[in-house]
Amino acid sequence: MKRIASRVEYEGSIATVRIDEFRYADGSTAKRQIVTHPGAVAVVAHDDEHVWLVRQPREAVGEEALLELPAGKLDVPGELPLDCARRELLEEIGKQAMQWRELKRFFTSPGFAEEEVIVYLATGLVGVEHEPDPEERIEIVPWPLAELDPAIEECADSKSLIGLLILRSLLR
Amino acid sequence: MKRIASRVEYEGSIATVRIDEFRYADGSTAKRQIVTHPGAVAVVAHDDEHVWLVRQPREAVGEEALLELPAGKLDVPGELPLDCARRELLEEIGKQAMQWRELKRFFTSPGFAEEEVIVYLATGLVGVEHEPDPEERIEIVPWPLAELDPAIEECADSKSLIGLLILRSLLR
């Protein structure tokens, strides 16, 4: 499969939409609508007692705040994904971590979007003075590590589910 | 939080982009770019020996075909999600299932997209005569149920990871 043409149809603040054309090994061609995205990181940060989650409004999908892993878009030019993950953990939870490990990379919706998320495991947590950004409307939720099943039940977004499902299998 | 304005910025074949404005409890307002999506279903279909996966090209994210659960968009007006899941299992794998159960609903990327995926568990599988759609370029992959770990390792999209991680925890 080869990309043989690409045209930007719409350029927005987060998502840009392209129409790309591909040629397959059998010679046939097809057009695909593709939503571009810079990618994102998410952090499974836990100590002996808690996994550190957040609750935040997600306007795209409804009126209730969602329970999620701390996370953020790769929207600082030149910033490495791991540095973005460190920054998000500090900004959203107010913690630094001594140990970092990549748990999984995945595409949120590869049928139409480029977005790739890298999920990290962060341990050896140390609290740090921080001023949460009031614009972000984020509530910190220290969730008991012994109660992962109800967290997985409540979580409703892909990165948080994947991170917590992997954490549960690691802890068993 | 209340939606106080909504404007379609771009209308495409799969994704439409809106700019919506929201007012929060504290009186402040914010605009959000939202990619609309009809939603999708995915199917964890297994018998005693195999979970039935597919490999298919995903032009948005690269040149290699991805290993995934059978799945599809809710793009037939009026079709119920479970009926869409039955249709996709038949069209992509050539099987019907006697038992269906909803495993999980999740948003692929609630920071900017509406897309919600419903993942079903399908068991009691029965093979059916079917003609695969050559346009779909889908390869059927009967994956040994005893080898779920390498499937989870290889899968790189949210619905397949969530479905297989939940299946692994059910089978343990």
Q: How far is A15 from chain B (nearest CA, A)?
A: 8
Strand partners, A116: A107
Q: How far is B8 from chain A (nearest CA, A)?
A: 12
Which region among A7-21, A81-95, A125-139, A148-162 has the lowest average model confidence (pLDDT)?
A125-139
CB contact under 8 A, A33 and B12: yes
Which residues does chain B have within 8 Å of residue A109's beta carbon, measured at their own beta carbons? 37, 108-109, 113, 115, 157-158
Tell me how far apart the alpha carbons of residues A90 and A131 are, in angstroms, rounded to a whole number: 10
In sequence order, the 6+-apart residues with CB closer than 8 A to the CB of B86 are B96, B97, B100
Give the closest of B3, B32, B115 to A109, CB-based: B115
CA angle B97/B37/B35 to nearest 5° reads 150
Q: Would you say A32 and A20 are in contact if contact means Cβ atoms under 8 Å apart?
A: yes
Q: Over the stretch B51-99, which tens digit does the pLDDT of each residue have?
A: 999 999 888 888 789 999 999 999 999 999 999 999 999 999 999 999 9
CB contact under 8 A, A15 and B33: yes
What ipTM was assigned to the predicted interfaces of this complex? 0.94
Q: Would you say B165 and B152 are in contact if contact means Cβ atoms under 8 Å apart?
A: yes
CB contact under 8 A, A32 and B112: no
Which residues does chain A have within 8 Å of residue B172's beta carbon, measured at their own beta carbons? 172
Tell me how far apart the alpha carbons of residues B84 and B40 are, in angstroms, rounded to a whole number: 9
Catalytic status, residue A129: no
Mean of the per-residue pLDDT values for chain B? 93
Q: Over the stretch B91-100, which tens digit does the pLDDT of each residue have?
A: 999 999 999 9
- Structure tokens, A3: 């990309």
Which residues does chain A have within 8 Å of residue B158's beta carbon, measured at their own beta carbons? 106-109, 158-159, 161-162
Q: Over the stretch A22-55, which tens digit does the pLDDT of each residue have?
A: 998 889 999 999 999 999 999 999 999 999 999 9
Q: Over the stretch A101-138, which tens digit does the pLDDT of each residue have?
A: 999 999 999 999 999 999 999 999 999 987 777 667 89
Q: How far is A11 from chain B (nearest CA, A)?
A: 9
Q: Would you say A33 and B52 are in contact if contact means Cβ atoms under 8 Å apart?
A: no
Task: Let me know if B171 is exposed, middle or buried by CB neighbors in 10 A (0-12, 13-18, 19+).
Answer: exposed
> How big is chain B, counted in residues?
172
Q: Which amino acid is at B167?
A: L
pTM of the entire predicted model: 0.95
Catalytic entry in A136, A139, A147, A153:
A136
Give the closest of B63, B137, B156 to A105, CB-based: B156
